[in-house]
Structure 1
Amino acid sequence: MATAMRLFWRHGYEGVSISDLTTAIGIAPPSLYAAFGSKAELYREALDRYGELPRALNTLVPLETPSATAAALLRRAIEFATDPQGEGGCMISLGMVQCGPDHAIIARDLAARRQAMVEAAADVFSRWLDAASSRALARYLLTVMQGIAIQTRDGVGRQELLAMADTIVDDIRRRYDAAAGRMAEPETA
């Protein structure tokens, strides 16, 4: 499964053929179909395996402020996307953005996984912010993380991405930390 995951991560769903998979895994096509049913099912299992890797969102914990939490999220995303042990970028963000009608189900699955990432981040930010602000901040950060994945594939290095993240965190500090502080203040009678 690790081999298939890495192929899909590197080339996306449509960039990997059955021949690529069977050659890399070392099995014949009938064995692949017997084990997984289809390339799409193998892809879903590879996505599940990818989701188990240590990465930015599955270990996101609230820190002292929204900006500190956002900074940790972006740093982890950058470290993960630029890790030389990985394939660069994010398999969920880059696996399939556009596709033909034959792969619409897979595209919807990826969109649902990206939406789940937004919901997970919004849940963390709801500690400080109202529902609309939590969701807006989460969507903003996930959009940035998708950009990080693309920039990594385009060859932008870790230091440049970290400098960009610092600018974003400064914006979040100005926009959200004060609002979070107001929400956290006890009401006076």
Structure 2
Amino acid sequence: MATKKITKKKGTKPEKKKEEKVKFIGKVTKVRQFKPAMVIEWPRTLTHVHTYGMLSPFFEGLRKGELRATRCPNPNCPENGLWIPPRAHCPDCHTEMVWETLPNPVIGKIYTFTEVVYAGAGIELSTPYWQVDVEIPGVVTIPKSYLLYGKPYIGMKVKAEFRTKNPTNTVLDYYWVPYEE
């Protein structure tokens, strides 16, 4: 292969390469408000890969319209009730938990609630909505979810329902609706 020899003429300056400037390639943010503090909209796109690990059966159950919980199988453990959200290991004795499916319909009563006006990052629900903590018979924890419709009150009976068509594969796939016997 032939190479070309580059010779420089006497008295000439070397060719200067054009300097590249750093360019802004993002989108200009929109200002929502200026006072009392500036608030901007800054859209982002991100792919987050996450594993549910040993808690996968809970989310698989939601896809099937089932509420699954875990229980400590250790007969010497002081806490042998059901846990929702589930735990992989007992927080008291560290034994690996076993899975149980609650019988449908799952009926509970509202323990407490709050109206969410500004949802945090990752909560893909229209606001405002009612976040509810629900007591479920036989469950030692008080799981948090949301009321699909209606206005909650303490002690209100509610029934669990599930998003089985086009599930999000998150805890948003189960919610509560008012229940009347």
Between structure 1 and structure 2, the one with the greater Rg is 2
Question: Higher strand share goes to which structure?
Answer: 2
Q: Bigger relative contact order, structure 1 or 2, given CA contacts below 8 A and separation 6+?
A: 1
TM interval, short-chain normalised: under 0.3
Question: Higher helix share goes to which structure?
Answer: 1
Q: Give me the TM-score of the superposition, normalised by structure 1.
A: 0.20
Q: Give me the TM-score of the superposition, normalised by structure 2.
A: 0.20
